[in-house]
Amino acid sequence: MKTKTVFLILFAVVLGGLTTSCDSQAKRQRQARALYERGVQLRAERLSEEATECFLEALALVDDVETHGRASLPLRANIKDNLGAMYNKHQLFEEALTMHRAAIADFKQIHDSVGMMTAWRNCGRVTKSLGLFAQTKAYYDSAFHVATLLMDTVMVNDLYLEIGRDYYMEIGNYPKAIECVQHAMNGGLDGNDLDIANMTLGILYYYINKNDVAKVYLEKALRSERAGIKMSVYQTLYGIALNEKNIKMAMKYEERFLEYMKLVEKENNNENILRIRAEYELKAQKSEMETLHRTKSFKLYLIIAVTLSVALVILLIVRKRISDNKIEMERFKSQVERDQNRIHELVSDMENLIRTNDELRRDHQTLSQKELLMTNKIMSRNKVFATAQGLSEHVTADSLNFNLSDDDWADFISLTDLVYDGFSQRLLSLYQKLGKWDVRICCLSKNGFSNQVISILLDTQTDSYYKRKTRIKQMKMNLVDDNRTFEEIVAAV
């Protein structure tokens, strides 16, 4: 009877533990599902940072399949695929590719063809950003094969558009790119996808010197409400007008291009501007508080020192008054006078030090201004620097009509080395994979020219220049995990 009672107690304990474990597991699954759905909603609202946090928290709750079972695989796969898309948006391409590949592995385990198709397409987008075009084609082909089998016409059209734009246009096969984009349009694109298709066809026909056809598609693309599409359209129309020697229209398109370029920059910076401003204000407040604290501490120490000195003098006076010795009294007075003179000397020395410090600060500011003027005077002799400086001040048709030779670039790099103490040699000693144009880009950045000016000097699209900087940092400088911007890295060399 006693043994049976013990057995029942143990059974009840084990059963309670299993029930609690199941409840806890089910609770974690519900929490993960809620976080995932919240992340999807935030992603739709273009709040990428908040969405990323939700996906990361959800993934932490379901990442252990052995604990949660295969039932968690669908949710985990979708979380990883969405998290990869967020990483890609923030240009964390290697991390994005890792997440998408992990999502494919999970989708394969549960035989989810739709999930694999979407993840393969996302892998294609990331490898395109990394410049791995052979892998891009393979991933898009895999997604296209599944979409065809599923007769998913919407996905087929999207993939035709992306293959044409992200693969064939990038490798220079413009006829094949046009064929793919036309397939997508014939399949029934609408909305933003249709605007992108019209813009892409306009650019492709411009590349093959069919300007009349290009202008038809570019005019259709101008119906878009997205500033980035309009900026690219006006940039292409500007190139067509220059080819046709229509300077008046070129200037008009140039003005519209610059207008939308500013809007694009504003949109790109809008997500981080509040955070940057808050960090700046916090640093300013911290610096101000530290300065105020040092000032108060100095005053406090000075008051204590003066108080102790006065107390010492009073003590000496009291002691001397007790004494009837006139000689000691005279000595005391003499000592007091010497102390007072010493204090006056110290005060005078302190005032002199303050004046000297102010003079040195003014001299340093004057010297810095002279050095800046001297640097500009030296660099302005070079054609590359003068051209870039002109573009920084005002972009006109005349300023865009420049021709820079290899000798001009070599002279520019030599002058940059002269001003910045052998900058290019230090750069190449740190990053041996850098090519000739990579060094030129770094020298332009070292001299403080903006992304827009550099992209114009390189005769490339602004978004293409952003991608090129990313490739230099990640693939040639091997600084994938470095949180600094490209400009901060170059400035530190």
Look up residue 110 and give its DSSP letter: T
C-beta of residue 164 within 8 angstroms of C-beta of residue 184: yes
Say whether pLDDT at 480 is over 80.
yes
Q: Which residues, other chains included, contact 397 with Cβ-Cβ below 8 Å and sequence gap of 6+?
A: 242, 247, 250, 251, 254
What average pLDDT does the segment 320-349 reach? 79
pLDDT confidence band for 138 (50 / 70 / 90): very high
Residue ranges of alpha helices (H) inside 431-475 are 436-446, 451-457, 462-471
pLDDT confidence band for 400 (50 / 70 / 90): confident
What average pLDDT does the segment 293-309 reach? 69
> Using one digit for the tens of pLDDT, what is the confidence trace for 334-344?
887 887 887 77
Q: What is the pLDDT of residue 467?
A: 93
Say whether pLDDT at 14 is over 50.
no
CA atoms 490, 235, 230, 393: torsion sign: positive
> Using one digit for the tens of pLDDT, what is the confidence trace for 50-89?
889 888 888 888 765 445 456 778 889 999 999 999 999 8
Which range in 1-5, 42-46, 167-171, 440-444 is most confidently predicted, on average pLDDT? 440-444
Say whether pLDDT at 472 is over 60.
yes
Average pLDDT, the chain: 82
Q: What is the pLDDT of residue 3?
A: 56
Q: Which residues, other chains included, contact 399 with Cβ-Cβ below 8 Å and sequence gap of 6+?
A: 387, 390, 391
The answer to which of 74-88, 135-149, 356-370, 386-400 has the lowest mean pLDDT is 356-370
Q: What is the pLDDT of residue 379?
A: 80
What average pLDDT does the segment 182-204 reach? 89
What average pLDDT does the segment 267-281 reach? 46
Q: What is the pLDDT of residue 11?
A: 53
pTM > 0.75: yes or no: no
> What does the alpha-carbon distance between residue 42 and residue 29 come to, in Å, rounded to a whole number?
20
CB atoms within 10 A of CB 211: 18
What average pLDDT does the segment 402-415 reach? 93
Q: What is the pLDDT of residue 374?
A: 64
Q: What is the pLDDT of residue 291?
A: 52
C-beta of residue 113 within 8 angstroms of C-beta of residue 146: yes
**Phi-psi region at 151: left, alpha or beta (left = phi > 0; alpha = psi -120 to 50):** left
Q: What is the pLDDT of residue 98?
A: 94
> What does the alpha-carbon distance between residue 185 and residue 482 come to, in Å, rounded to a whole number?
41
C-beta of residue 404 within 8 angstroms of C-beta of residue 383: yes
The answer to which of 188-192, 296-300, 401-405 has the lowest mean pLDDT is 296-300
Encoded tokens for 88: 């890609």
- The percent of residues above 90 in pLDDT, for the chain, comes to 39
> What does the alpha-carbon distance between residue 321 and residue 315 come to, in Å, rounded to a whole number?
10
Say whether pLDDT at 317 is over 90.
no
What average pLDDT does the segment 197-214 reach? 91
pLDDT confidence band for 420 (50 / 70 / 90): very high
In the three-class reduction of DSSP (H, G, I as helix; E, B as strand; rest coil), residue 101 is classed as: helix
Closest CA to 166 of 121, 210, 202: 121
Q: What is the pLDDT of residue 378?
A: 76
Q: What is the pLDDT of residue 285?
A: 42
